[in-house]
Amino acid sequence: MTLAGTAALGPHTVHRMGYGAMQLAGPGVFGPPKDRDEALRVLAAVREAGIDHIDTSQYYGPDVVNELLREALHPYDGITLVSKVGARRDDEGGWIPWNQPDDLRQGIEDNLRSLGVERLGAVNLRVMPQDPMDLFEKQLAAMVQARDEGLIDAVGISNVSKDQFALAADEIGCVQNPYNLVDRSSQPVLDACTERGIAFVPFFPLGSGFGINDVRGHPAVVQTSQRLGATPSQVALAWTLAQSPVVLLIPGTSSTAHLAENLAAAEISLDEEAIALLS
């Protein structure tokens, strides 16, 4: 399995096909998994497949996903761990902004604690749409300070506009924005990342994990999958990989069968007919 070759993620070089661990938590990314044993089997399969880029966060659960990763994979030899900060959870699982500079520092330290490491490969700053630019500048400064003090290897930013990217570009190693065949609103940010050689990690490459914009049912995806003998998920992931050499995928699943299906997308070569139809 090729895992789609490699690309830069900050100072690290990782396979372009990674793994997003969010779905290992319970419903709504809150509480324990429905099947803990299967969650651990998924992580064992991740290791066996040679995946070296895992995306997570302390607020998945909270702590649930990081603790599963720690149990299954610590000491993470050869794996670049990427997390995110900027939010926390209330007692009912609601999402609460936690995005002041001191909050971000605490969030990084919480991730280090729950994962059992002293340093992370990258941490993404989750930006809220209503955040003013002056707050973003302060947030970015806090993230850069954490990098310079050795807590993280690279600063990432998530949910950002092209203007926010331009402000941060000299300091960052990766961007996480929503992007897939149906939702291409982040195309300008992807283009800017490609120009500068900065990793672009699209979340929800198959559509939202909460059932919004499910790419797998798109007629062009279904038609292409039938013609090529692939699944709709594989076609959608292969299309996303083909958009730029800086794209790193982190499709998530809590199923070993779906993990194998996702990873097989790295073997699919879309022909001119497929690219034309999907584009």
Active site residues: 60
Burial 173-201 (b: 16+ CB within 10 A, else e): bbbbbbbbbbbeebeebbebbeeeebbbb
* Cβ contacts of 151 within 8 Å, gap of 6 or more: 108, 109, 112, 118, 119, 120
Q: How far is the C-alpha of 253 from the C-alpha of 6, rounded, in Å? A: 22
Among 28, 8, 98, 110, smallest CA distance to 66 is for: 110
Furthest-apart CA atoms within the chain: distance in Å: 53
Structural contact between residues 116 and 66, judged by C-beta atoms closer than 8 angstroms: no
